[in-house]
A and B are shown apart, each in its own frame.
Chain A
């Protein structure tokens, strides 16, 4: 209240008040009364002249008569003219005053509406001013309810306040009953001059003091083509309502609507400002050059050294585009309202950089109206870290799973192979055992019919038992190898004797099959680190296999020292059944033989190659088997690394000399 009084007082100084304008009006009227007094005095003078006897003045009666007539005519004419003039002036004076009043009202309404920043106050003052200015005393204002869209009475002037409750909200639409709601619906002023214009809708309590059938003027208050309220004026029927009053009312309504809109905008601005200030997102307003025009607290805290220090700095000082690495500037964002999502890297004043997701929008600067740019950025450091951790985690998990799966597969393979090995071992042991037990039983039961047959049975038992022994030795070797307990006495020595021994062992078999057996050894010593007994075992196995799997052609053994590769090579080649390409990888597997099954017609345990591989590798060498396919022959190559100087010619010569 106090504020309102103060505002009113400060407003009175530059402008004539209503009372002052009334004084002006009185002065104007006083001037017109002077004319009236002059007219009255002329009439009185003429009457007095007429009543004076003519003889007393000595003027002939005829002349007197004519003069009197002329004088009377002049007086009457001039008086009438004067009266007419006075009336005209009075009328124009009244017009002027009324205009003055209207202008005054317009001015004061505008001034009031611009000054006040509280809605209720705004409405009340607006009503006061317009009532004062128009002389119309009874006003009501309806506002639209945001929830149901209905128009409710929110303020009255000169009318009983209690009447508000009586008015039920009238739903807006073509069927609206009350003049206020109809005006809002039609977006046009409605002047209801009789009760019949609003059938079924009366204002008994509201208009109780106005006499019967007041005139009701309803003017919509619009904002962007939409009714947000209605200004309503009640005029007692005896007063009448004129066109210029209507114009004033409409003008006031439009001003009121503007004022209400302004208040709404201001409220929205305040809310937005509050939100932006307090937002945890960084909000920056950049001017057309890219300098910070405004920044919220979050941005100041994250980027500035202290609150307020960000203003005026250029964006490129603290922001780069993450994708291109270029300094960030508003650039050519294009038309107002256009916005883009950007990954920015911002740098705090202490130099710490952090990634941000930003929305950059071209806007008009709220004050200058020039093109500007609004940046809303969110620090995504934590999210990035979380994502990276998650990614790393899932990568590690996947890797672990793969490893587990592989390990599982290897275990499964190993288990299968172990079972296969057991099954095969059992099979391989049982076959010769069958002969041992069977022939022994036959001997025992006296099935043999001759001494010859007894010998034959005994021989079968012996052969099978020897085969069993060989098997047991092989299995033992393999078991030792797998346990890593194979004891090898690896020493430098000449390997040629082992080769010769193996060849001479198989020579009878080869001769029996008609095979050519060729041996190609260097004349000098073939020195490399090996276990002599085991190397002989390997050679016997390899040369034995070669003879076993070859029915025609030749078996050759060649050994030499390859100085370029610093190794001793031994190659056993045959022209036999070879190895199908698809089976070469399984060759060193236990119980796998070149035929893919237990070659019993070519006696063997199926363990030989696996054992040879283990032995050769145990001596530091390597073994490879090559075959161009089935029936294309086989080449087994052993290589043992040698250190030291190339073969000494002297030693070689000496060795050659000792040869027979």
Chain B
């Protein structure tokens, strides 16, 4: 069974691009969504190995309030059932200081900026994180 990766992305073209890179070049199973509730459910089910999370989500809301990628990541990282799944933030925000701020704010494991100049580099990072697991250990290991 293929390793499943969840791509949370509101731009259809970018979502398609992630899907192509990860499925075609690395043979992952890719699920694209922008629904936070689905993300949480999917992760709780334990089938997802990693999340690529867009920071700016224009159409996502959770329990009635609009949320962005950082907020969803915070929810995931505060949930004992989902905190072990590695999260890579993907964003077109590339201003100085964004990286540190976003990682600290959300508790995500890694950070890539768009445009993604090297698909191979992205795949490398994904594989590494899946192999290592999140710095938050899975509940079973406790």
Contacts and interface: CB of A to CB of B under 8 A. Distances in A.
B93 A434 contact: no
Contacts of A442: 17, 20-21, 24, 119
A426 B94 contact: yes
Contacts of B136: none
B93 A437 contact: no
Interface string B34-67: 0000000000000000000000101100000010
Interface in B86-117: 91-95, 113-117
Contacts of A438: 14, 17, 20-21, 115-116, 119
B16 interface: yes
Interface string A250-285: 000000000000000000000000000000000000
Contact of B58 (A423, A434, A436, A598): A598
Given A430-B92, A431-B92, A447-B20, A463 B56 contact: no
Contacts of B135: none
Nearest to A419: B95
Interface residues of B, number: 25
Contact of A427 (B21, B66, B93): B93
A431 B114 contact: yes
Contacts of B27: none
Contacts of B116: 434, 437-438
A638 to B, nearest CB: 28
Given A423-B95, A441-B119, A447-B24, A435 B59 contact: no
Contacts of A426: 92-95
Interface residues of A, number: 30
B56 A460 contact: no
Contacts of A439: 17
B56 A598 contact: yes
Contact of A422 (B58, B95, B113): B95
Nearest to A420: B95
A431 B11 CA distance: 8
A434 B17 contact: yes
B140 interface: no
B117 A447 contact: no
B134 to A, nearest CB: 25
Contacts of A422: 95
Contacts of B125: none
Nearest to A424: B93
A464 interface: yes
Nearest to B14: A434
A437 B115 contact: yes
B125 to A, nearest CB: 16
B66 to A, nearest CB: 8
Contacts of B17: 434-435, 438-439, 442, 460
Nearest to B96: A423
A433 to B, nearest CB: 5
Nearest to B90: A434
B106 to A, nearest CB: 17
A548 to B, nearest CB: 13
Nearest to A442: B20
Interface string A429-473: 011111111110110010101000000000010011000000000
29 contacts: A422-B95, A423-B95, A426-B94, A426-B95, A427-B91, A427-B92, A430-B94, A430-B113, A431-B11, A431-B14, A431-B92, A434-B17, A434-B92, A434-B114, A435-B13, A436-B115, A437-B115, A438-B21, A439-B17, A441-B119, A442-B21, A447-B25, A460-B16, A463-B13, A464-B13, A595-B58, A597-B66, A600-B58, A601-B10
Given A423-B93, A435-B17, 7 more contacts: A431-B11, A431-B92, A434-B14, A434-B92, A437-B116, A438-B119, A463-B13
Interface of B: 10-11, 13-14, 16-17, 20-21, 24-25, 56, 58-59, 66, 91-95, 113-117, 119
Interface of A: 422-423, 426-428, 430-439, 441-442, 445, 447, 449, 460, 463-464, 595-601
Q: Closest 5 CB pairs between A and B?
A: A430-B92, A434-B115, A434-B114, A438-B17, A597-B58
